[in-house]
Amino acid sequence: MTAETDKIVKYIRKKSSGSKKIVFVSGSFNIIHPGHLRLLRFAKECGDYLVVAVLDNSFPGSFIDEKLRLESIQAITWVDYSFILHDAVADFIEKLQPAYVVKGKEHEDRENPEKNALRKYGGKLIFGSGEISFSSVDLMNTEWKEVSVSSIKKPADYPQRHSFTFQDLVAITDKMRNLKVCVLGDAIVDEYVTCDALGMSQEDPTIVVTPVARERYIGGAGIVALHARGLGADVHFLSVVGADDPADYIHGRMRAQGAHAHLFRDESRPTTLKQRFRARQKTLLRVSHLRQHAISAEIREMFFREFREVADDADLIIFADFNYGCLPQELVERIVSLGAEKGVMMVADSQSSSQVGDVSRFQGMALVTPTEREARFAVHDFESGLVILAEKLRRKGRADNVIVTLAEEGVLIHAEGTGEIEWLTDRLPAFNTAPKDVSGAGDSFLTCTAMSMAAGADIWKSSYLGSLAAACQVGRIGNIPLSPLDLKMEINGEGGI
């Protein structure tokens, strides 16, 4: 132990006043992401004084300079004291003798050298990853706050880390116009019913409203197709609809926007219609008209034949699965096999809000974009931290990249590493600090990120553009197709909503 270490231990004991329970956490902390923040909050709740040791550059897995990593930890308000550790972790623990040492849940079944040091003086080793439902409204107001007159606030440190400029993003946006995109998935119509609230019913405790306006939008995989078309791509959209008015609406909108719609009529189901009844800018009730059974063998065959016709020219295939029966596994496997044979980039999202899905069934994707809940269900892991969770999903689905979307916490980007680095991880906060309607965020993020990758951008630039697209989308009510102008105006800081 060095004299510097003795000085640090003495300082910690003095600041903790001797009576406070010290909690100790150590790690490389290359990129601070929501998983780290959850763990640190959990650690803070275990005791009174949280000490975090940032492992120095000599430790394996440290690829960002130790001083920069320490600065990131020092900016987190839950941490009482942090420093760069040059000694073995177990040796420092034995010297400091904290009441608790906290590690991520993924370490519970591994060898933990800290145990011997803790056993000598009666300390405890605690494993945890924080609550899944962790909300970071306060966190974003402090750690992630950046000055901007717009409700869309672009982080400046991320482009610096990944060596790109805003002008590079404009160039990528221009390249999207040359793409040919094939979108496969559930067609959905979103209907917003604006109401006047009349008051409470006198017969029972029910809010009484009267509808005053109705507005329809394309949702589901349909809005993914329209986003791609709005960004300039030549788009083919393959889906299943019923024999009804919402189906006619989808046909008309696709035709008006210049997208090629291949819609197969299924007499056994209605076109999925999701109604939102709103009053005073708040949603009071949602009503979904749908069926969730798989399409018949006959429709599957028609679907695949049509896909085979358009796949030859495709640069990008997007699976936008809402688990309403449009993409049964046998059909997915045939399409994936043909796409791989032709060397087409494929990406997938499998949304499971009120239904059950498994995004890992889309094997060999260049990108999958599940929510945290969807990722946990896919790998049956409800305890591990976010990075371990993303890596499990990446391996199970044989995906090149996994981006876990975290609502107001932003996104966690997890990519396959190179050389000795097994994987690379970074995070982006949610760009829009005042969202109006979050229902279309994931679709716009998926579309723009995937198209950026297909246009030749790496996962880091693509994720930034995707986050910007999502910020534009949630700044307005209803699913409105993106345009290059939306992105460029926000890239340039002019406000494009």
Flag whether pLDDT at 148 surpasses 70: no
* Count helices and strands in the chain by DSSP H and E runs: 17, 18
Tokens of 46: 């275990």
Flag whether pLDDT at 91 surpasses 60: yes
Residue 228: the pLDDT is 97
Instruction: Taking residues 453-472, report their average pLDDT.
Output: 95
What percent of the chain is modeled with pLDDT above 70? 93
CB atoms under 10 Å from CB of 280, counted, come to 9
DSSP string of 165-180? -HHHHHHHHHHGGG-E
Read off φ and ψ for residue 183, nearest 5 degrees. -110, 130
Q: How confident is the model at residue 137 (pLDDT cuts 50, 70, 90)?
A: very low
Q: 27-36, 176-185, 202-211, 437-446: which has the highest mean pLDDT? A: 176-185
Flag whether pLDDT at 134 surpasses 60: no
Tell me the C-alpha distance between 22 and 9, whole Å: 11
Short-list 247, 241, 287, 248, CA closest to 268: 241
DSSP string of 80-111? SEEEEE-S-HHHHHHHH--SEEEE-GGGTTS-
187-237: pLDDT as tens digits: 999 998 988 888 888 888 888 988 888 889 999 999 999 999 999 999 999
Domains parsed from the chain with CATH numbers: 3-131 (3.40.50.620), 157-491 (3.40.1190.20)
349-371: pLDDT as tens digits: 998 766 678 999 999 999 999 99
Query: Residue 195: in which H helix or E strand, if any?
Result: strand 187-200
Residue 110: the pLDDT is 86
Beta carbons within 8 Å of 6's beta carbon, 6+ residues apart? 95
Q: How confident is the model at residue 436 (pLDDT cuts 50, 70, 90)?
A: confident
Residue 210: the pLDDT is 87
Of the given ranges (85-89, 420-424, 470-474), which has the lowest mean pLDDT?
420-424
Residue 315: the pLDDT is 97
Flag whether pLDDT at 481 surpasses 70: yes
Q: 209-218, 249-258, 410-419: which has the highest mean pLDDT? A: 249-258
Tokens of 29: 């902390």
Tell me the C-alpha distance between 327 and 490, whole Å: 35
Tell me the C-alpha distance between 428 and 34, whole Å: 9
Q: How far is CA 105 from the centre of its chain?
A: 21
Of the given ranges (138-147, 285-294, 425-434, 456-465), which has the lowest mean pLDDT?
138-147
User: In the chain, how long is the greatest CA-to-CA distance?
Assistant: 79
DSSP string of 270-321? PPEEEEEEEETTEEEEEEEE---SPPPHHHHHHHHHHHHHHHTT-SEEEEEE
The helix/strand/coil state of 340 is helix
Q: 63-72, 95-104, 276-285: which has the highest mean pLDDT? A: 95-104
The helix/strand/coil state of 426 is strand
Short-list 311, 384, 365, 370, CA closest to 342: 311
CA angle 169-172-178, nearest 5°? 160
Of the given ranges (142-146, 233-237, 455-459, 465-469), which has the lowest mean pLDDT?
142-146
Mean predicted lDDT score pLDDT of the chain: 88
Short-list 235, 238, 228, 234, CA closest to 184: 238
Residue 259: the pLDDT is 96
291-316: pLDDT as tens digits: 999 999 999 999 999 999 999 899 99
376-402: pLDDT as tens digits: 999 999 988 899 999 999 999 999 999
CB atoms under 10 Å from CB of 165, counted, come to 12
Q: Order the strands of the 180-185 sheet from edge to edge.
A: 260-265, 234-241, 180-185, 316-321, 345-350, 367-368, 401-405, 411-416, 423-428
CB atoms under 10 Å from CB of 431, counted, come to 25
CA angle 267-270-272, nearest 5°? 140
Short-list 149, 158, 144, CA closest to 430: 144
In this structure, are residues 224 and 446 in contact, taking their beta carbons and an 8 Å threshold?
yes
The burial of 2, by beta-carbon neighbours within 10 Å (0-12 exposed, 13-18 middle, 19 or more buried), is given as exposed
Pairing assessment for the beta strands 187-200 and 260-265 based on DSSP bridges: unpaired
Residue 97: the pLDDT is 93
Residue 75: the pLDDT is 84
CB atoms under 10 Å from CB of 252, counted, come to 11
What is residue 21's DSSP assignment?
P
Residue 425: the pLDDT is 92
Q: How many angstroms separate the Cα of 129 from the Cα of each of 63, 339, 352?
A: 23, 38, 23
154-184: pLDDT as tens digits: 898 899 999 999 999 999 999 999 999 999 9
Tell me the pTM: 0.79
